[in-house]
Amino acid sequence: MPVTPSRAAAFDVLLRVEEQSSYAVDLLHSDRLAGLSSADHRLCTELVMGVMRWRSWLDAVISRAAGRAVSRIDVEVLVALRLAAYQLRFLARVPRSAAVNQSVEMVKRARKRSAVPFANAVLRKLSAAPPAPGGIVSSGDSGAADLPASVVALDIAAPPETAAALAERLAHPQWLVDRWIASYGFAAAARICASDQVIPTTAVRLSDQAVEDELVAEGIRLAPGLLLRGARRVISGDLGETRAFACGRVAIQDEASQLVSLLLGAGNRILDCCAAPGNKSAALAARLPQATIVATELHHHRARAMQERQSSPAIQIITADARSLPLTAGFDRVLADVPCSGTGTLARNPEIKWRLVPADLADLQGRQVAILRSALQQVVPGGRVLYSTCSLEPEENQQVIELALAPHSNNQYQVLDCGDELQKLQDSEELTWPGPASLAREKFLTTLPGTHPCDGFFAALIERRA
């Protein structure tokens, strides 16, 4: 029995994620999968992202059935077992025999025939277990027809009572759960973990009303954004198949990311010093058509990709290290959306939670402080710098602000209250979320998955005194 195209592709993607530290989202949108039908691509995506989201939970189930630690199982065999376990436990409409037989075939396809009896024995035990863990209800499809997104509904009447139970049940490293409890409280941490396990809604930024009309005509069903007047949520339809997406007239951009661009405010000369993939530069150009925008990116290939996609003549793209910019200070607005751990985006990038270790945060912080200090040197008196991350970790957020400003004991720079700026955005009806104060902690923009309808973002607005 040959392995179906969707499962073969899912196996290959997951193996590359494990062996080469590749990112699943990049692989799922690569040319390698261009030959898949729409239905097969949807099932492949469901399998890859589902396995990555629930990896530790799946490994615990596999370990019990195998009678050994998963670290003692060849990676090719383990990937096949994870795929089977996910289908058996979370995709109720996938025939159990198909999940088992296809995974055995994957082991053979990976030239691990000696492991076939072992895989068969483990899969028999897995197939005899209940279809979903306690408190979780799930549905899926075999891929023969259109595949609806799997539904993960958490039993909030019986939430986990400890950090360890929360981490185990919702498949997160306990060290991350412990940190979020310390920073945001147990209830908020539980909401973050639950949100990370659900397929996130796709939010888009449109260039104008005509684009929205065109998308609707092509079968894309849209709904208003939950945070911003100008945002739209994709309810159904394949956005990637539309002319507007191919031409760059619609950008996939989370609403919190769109909000960061709005917080920067208006300016005549703007610097985006960590610009790739270019969504924020494009948003600024669309909002401020008279402004000159300089966008810098460290990596040449990413800068080149930005150049190929961008359509605004107002954006000048430069390959440069944001820590030592080859520019003359003279910007009234500077955006420093820095490279970070991405712990606010785990629903979209679940592999991060299995790769990140505490020591990574210190390394990231050093680079982030250097970038922010460089950005502060580029802003003119009276101008503003917006520092942002898609991280939930204080080392990358508040602590970076404190460290970057520490050398400036003469109060040359002032941290502004983002709550005030959020209120202005609501007064202008650009922000539609009720109660803008709920989006801020202390003086900083702080969005939390599960609490707010978006990714987790942090932003600080810093003004250079005139």
pLDDT digits (tens, 9 = 90+) for 239-248: 888 988 888 7
pLDDT digits (tens, 9 = 90+) for 313-338: 788 999 999 999 988 879 999 999 99
Residue 152: band (very low, low, confident or very high) from pLDDT cuts 50, 70, 90: very low
Share of the chain above pLDDT 70, in %: 93
H/E element, 296: strand 292-297
User: Measuring CA to CA, which residue among 77, 6, 16, 93 is closest to residue 46?
Assistant: 6
87 to 1, 23, 52: CA distances (angstroms):
18, 22, 13
pLDDT digits (tens, 9 = 90+) for 50-63: 999 999 999 999 99
Beta bridge partners of 388: 337, 459
Instruction: List the Cα angle 431/349/212 in 5-degree steps.
Output: 40
Cα separation of 358 and 35, whole Å?
Answer: 39
Residue 153: band (very low, low, confident or very high) from pLDDT cuts 50, 70, 90: very low
pLDDT, position 148: 32
Residue 149: band (very low, low, confident or very high) from pLDDT cuts 50, 70, 90: very low
Q: pLDDT higher for 140 or 311?
A: 311
Residue 94: band (very low, low, confident or very high) from pLDDT cuts 50, 70, 90: confident
DSSP label at residue 298: S
pLDDT of 140 over the 60 cut:
no
pLDDT of 136 over the 90 cut:
no
107 to 60, 100, 204: CA distances (angstroms):
20, 11, 40
Mean pLDDT, the chain, whole residue set: 89
pLDDT, position 311: 63
Q: pLDDT higher for 133 or 146?
A: 133
CB contact at 8 A, 317 and 299: no
CB contact at 8 A, 392 and 182: no
Which range is most confident: 156-165, 205-214, 391-400?
Answer: 391-400
At 213 the three-state DSSP class reads: helix
pLDDT of 38 over the 90 cut:
no
Residue 93: band (very low, low, confident or very high) from pLDDT cuts 50, 70, 90: confident
When pLDDT is averaged across residues 195-206 and rounded to a whole number, the result is: 93
Cα separation of 46 and 50, whole Å?
Answer: 6
Residue 135: band (very low, low, confident or very high) from pLDDT cuts 50, 70, 90: very low
When pLDDT is averaged across residues 168-184 and rounded to a whole number, the result is: 96
DSSP state letters, 301-332: HHHHHHHHH---TTEEEEE--TTS--S-S-EE
pLDDT, position 131: 59
Cα separation of 289 and 272, whole Å?
Answer: 15
Residue tagged 């890859």 (tokens): 48
pLDDT, position 138: 39
CB contact at 8 A, 390 and 381: no
H/E element, 415: strand 413-416
* Ramachandran sector of residue 287 (left: φ over 0; alpha: ψ -120 to 50; beta: rest): alpha
pLDDT, position 2: 86
Q: What is the pTM of this model?
A: 0.91
Residue 147: band (very low, low, confident or very high) from pLDDT cuts 50, 70, 90: very low
Q: pLDDT higher for 418 or 309?
A: 418
Which range is most confident: 305-309, 381-385, 410-414?
Answer: 381-385
pLDDT of 49 over the 80 cut:
yes
Residue 338, both tokens: 């820095």
When pLDDT is averaged across residues 68-81 and rounded to a whole number, the result is: 96
Cα separation of 83 and 91, whole Å?
Answer: 11
The CB density around residue 347, as the number of other CB atoms within 10 Å, is 21
Cα separation of 45 and 348, whole Å?
Answer: 11
Cα separation of 168 and 63, whole Å?
Answer: 14
pLDDT digits (tens, 9 = 90+) for 417-466: 999 999 999 999 999 998 899 999 999 999 999 999 999 999 999 999 98
When pLDDT is averaged across residues 340-350 and rounded to a whole number, the result is: 97
Report strand pairing: 331-337 vs 269-272: parallel
Q: How far is CA 213 from the centre of its chain?
A: 28
When pLDDT is averaged across residues 267-290 and rounded to a whole number, the result is: 89
CB contact at 8 A, 368 and 396: yes
